Structure 1
Amino acid sequence: MSVWDAVIGQPEAVGALRAAARSAAEIAAGRPGGPATMTHAWLFTGPAGSGRSVAARAFAAALQCERSADPADTGDSAGPVDPADPADPNGSDLLGCGQCAACRTVAARTHADVHSVVPEGLSIGVDEMRAVVGRAARRPSLGRWQVVVIEDADRLTEQAANALLKAVEEPPARTVFLLCAPSLHPDDVSLTIRSRCRLVALRTPAADAVAEVLERGGVDADTARWAAAAGQGHVGRSRRLARDADARSRRAEVLAIPASLTSLAACLRAADHLVGAAEAEAGALSAELDAGETESLQVALGAGATGRGVASAVRGSAGALRELEKRQKSRATRAQRDALDRALVDLAAFYRDVLLAQAGSPVAPAHPDFADDVAAVGRQVASAGVLQRLSAILACREALDQNVKPRIAVEALTAALRLP
């Protein structure tokens, strides 16, 4: 499989990235004069689940792909390769072959010249960004480019964004920055950074395209179609729903809430359930990761060792352990908020289905298996009330982004969703 096969439902973006990768190969081979489609900074935008980081990583693999290093690999000596044509059989399709060592190591996140910034906590700090920028300033050791992939550039702190801006303004000759963010809004990416990047705009893939991917992964056709619709174009979420019974159970519990909100007590119970479920999910993730990280750090700092100086070294490790605990706590908070956000997205899609049913729209619903609950809510709440409930869900998401206590934000939400 080519690395581009993982980029679902984005033919225009893939075509532009393939052309740029071909141009980059010409530059790396010292053959200037080709189309000027390559640049040093790229910004991938699109809604959640559109595949921003997947597209960025596929592009990183194409930039390092060993098949693109040798002109003889084009398979045709009769004429020049057209880098602007993503379907050109003379070489463009070879970029990102998915089979060479470079493509495999980029996919495994082990390539020495591809650096990933994936925030586990609430933000990306300046120290982490400075370290990454420093590594990226070196000459490539294995590939032809130093590539920095920042998967959630909207989480950069102001100081971290400034550190990145300096590198983007004056990049080393063989360094490429690939930034991923939900939108071009200044809250997601600063204007100064955005102005120095080439934009790759992605869209939510069609349900049919997502279903096809799931079927290729071994999911039966009916389950694939259901999961693609329920995942609302989010490939990762659709895959979890298709394969994880716990994910399906959590979704069902969330979607049963709107029809159950018949009293204030029911609203409070629903809020308690939502927050408790998110805390439990985050706790399970943290328990799985934290113990191993703490043990590894303690061993690295000398725990269990013997000999002169060990005792003082262990006593001096308290600061490192506190820093690890701080990162772990931030990661747990992020995991809880992500779990709550998935529930809020499902609730928003539920009320969207209510509006579709009220309007008699032929558009396929996101949650056809909850058609009875959708009809019941639609009979009790007018269209204006449904829109107010959608606004309340958006307000809750914004409140969580602004660090409002989850229980307070969710209780306010469920009260606003109460049936008349």
Structure 2
Amino acid sequence: MSVWDAIVGQRQVVEQLKAVAAGDPASIAQSWLICGPPGSGRSNVARAFAAALESPDHGLDDVPTRTTEQILAGTHPDVTVLATNKVTIGIDEVRGLIAKSEQMPSTAPWRVIIIEDVDRMLERSTNVLLKEIEEPSEHTIWLLCAPSAQDVLPTIRSRTRIVNLAVPSTPAVAEFLQRHDGVDQHLAARAARLAEGHIGVARLYATNERVMTDRDELVVGVLNLNRASDAVLLAGRLIENAQEQAQEDVNRQAVAAEADFRRVNGLGEKDRIPPALRGAYNAIAKKDELKRRATRRSRDVLDRALNSVASIYRDVAVLQNNAEDAVGLINLENRASITELSVRLSRADAVRRLEDIATARRRLNGNGNPTLVFEALFCALMP
């Protein structure tokens, strides 16, 4: 399987990066900024590019090399990935990456540093990183990921080579779900449509029945808003579901991390942790860290909920402008209720509700109280 097989709907970018990886090493840019909307696969593109750069076959063969397998599994010693579950990337984390970037690679041609969500980096941390991006160590390549070039400081984007990803099409995402996850055709098509081009969300909908059910209930709840009490109850259910989903996700990750730790260190499921390894073992299960991850995951669930709510009024606008044949509806299962809502609301009403959702997103990003944010939003959405 090629390193590029997990990249969805980015043919032009894949061909560009393939050529770079197989080209003259002396001409390769050492600082890159990979941009794409959430779910476009920018982190996967960064990992695939790293694998192509490091592997002897440049990622072109269908049979993966050991180097490729290690990089895609996150275990290669010369490829470091900072994938934060926090709201921001701290300065100490950046300094640690810089120290590592100055080391010579141990087995591969390059030391590759990948920073996911570089837009979460505070300006102070960005300034620490700036010099390394401008003048990387001779054998280091930096791959930074962000939603868009405008989401990072001008000093960073002016010193990087920018790669822009497209939003994957619904058919491309559906085909990926069938091929990669073995999802049946009907479910794959529905999950891809509801995810609106977000690959990670599409996989969630296709493989986690609870996530799909929660979305269905949220859409029905918004369409049935009539009283302030409806808004309060719906907000309460949403927050509770978000917290439960986040905790389940974090617990699943913690179990997987423990299993991986035991496997790497040759320990069975029931074996006691040797004293020499206990410090490293405890580090992967710190309660404070798990709590921070759960908080971050909960915010991700709520952000996804805002996208689902916005899709309702997007569909309303599509019907009001007779554009269904051109762009289709997202919430086909709720077509009757959305059609009724499109008659009750004016075009200006639909636009105002999309603005209300954008305001709620800004308040959440500003650490507003989630319950109050959604209670206010749902009250504002009532016809």
- Same fold per TM (> 0.5)? yes
CA distance in 1, matches of 2:152, 2:225: 38
Closer, same or farther: CA 326–166 of 1 in aligned 2, 3 Å: farther
Contact 1:96–1:103 (CA under 8 A) maintained in structure 2: no
Closer, same or farther: CA 190–97 of 1 in aligned 2, 3 Å: farther
Kindly report which structure 2 residues correspond to 1:257-406, keeping only aligned pairs within 5 A, or say none.
257-288=221-252, 324-361=286-323, 362=325, 363-406=327-370
Closer, same or farther: CA 147–359 of 1 in aligned 2, 3 Å: same
Kindly report which structure 2 residues correspond to 1:144-163, keeping only aligned pairs within 5 A, or say none.
144-163=109-128
Q: 2:210 aligns to what?
A: 246
Q: 1:221 aligns to what?
A: 185
Q: CA deviation at 1:220?
A: 1.9
Contact 1:65–1:95 (CA under 8 A) maintained in structure 2: no
Q: 1:71 aligns to what?
A: none
Contact 2:316–2:350 (CA under 8 A) maintained in structure 1: yes
AA matched with 2:178 = E
Contact 1:121–1:327 (CA under 8 A) maintained in structure 2: no
Q: 2:71 aligns to what?
A: 106
CA distance in 2, matches of 1:100, 1:368: 44
Contact 2:149–2:162 (CA under 8 A) maintained in structure 1: no
CA distance in 1, matches of 2:80, 2:5: 22
CA distance in 2, matches of 1:287, 1:39: 39
Q: 1:139 aligns to what?
A: 104
Q: Deviation per CA, 1:57-89: give whole Å up to 9, x if none.
A: 110000011224xxxxxxxxxxxxxxxxxxxxx
Contact 1:67–1:97 (CA under 8 A) maintained in structure 2: no
Q: Decide which structure has the larger Cα Rg and report it.
A: 1
Q: 1:57 aligns to what?
A: 47
2:315 aligned counterpart, secondary structure = helix
Q: Deviation per CA, 1:154-173: give whole Å up to 9, x if none.
A: 11122321221121122111
Closer, same or farther: CA 293–220 of 1 in aligned 2, 3 Å: closer
Q: 1:202 aligns to what?
A: 165
Q: CA deviation at 1:327?
A: 2.9
CA distance in 2, matches of 1:148, 1:169: 14
Closer, same or farther: CA 96–144 of 1 in aligned 2, 3 Å: farther
Closer, same or farther: CA 95–162 of 1 in aligned 2, 3 Å: farther
Contact 2:35–2:149 (CA under 8 A) maintained in structure 1: yes
Q: Give the TM-score of the pair, scaled to structure 2.
A: 0.89
CA distance in 2, matches of 1:165, 1:203: 27
Q: CA deviation at 1:326?
A: 3.7
The count of aligned residue pairs is 365
CA distance in 2, matches of 1:306, 1:138: 30
Closer, same or farther: CA 43–98 of 1 in aligned 2, 3 Å: farther
Instruction: Note the residue ranges of structure 1 that are not aligned, 5 or more in a row.
Output: 69-93, 297-303, 308-313
Q: Give the TM-score of the pair, scaled to structure 1.
A: 0.81
CA distance in 1, matches of 2:361, 2:313: 15
CA distance in 2, matches of 1:324, 1:99: 35
Q: CA deviation at 1:282?
A: 2.0
Residue 11 of structure 2 is aligned to residue 11 of structure 1:
yes
CA distance in 2, matches of 1:137, 1:405: 42
Kindly report which structure 2 residues correspond to 1:118-133, keeping only aligned pairs within 5 A, or say none.
118-133=83-98
Instruction: Note the residue ranges of structure 2 that are not aligned, 5 or more in a row.
Output: 262-271
CA distance in 2, matches of 1:403, 1:22: 45
Q: CA deviation at 1:257?
A: 2.0
Q: Deviation per CA, 1:266-286: give whole Å up to 9, x if none.
A: 111111111121122223334
* CA-based RMSD: 2.5
CA distance in 1, matches of 2:82, 2:253: 18
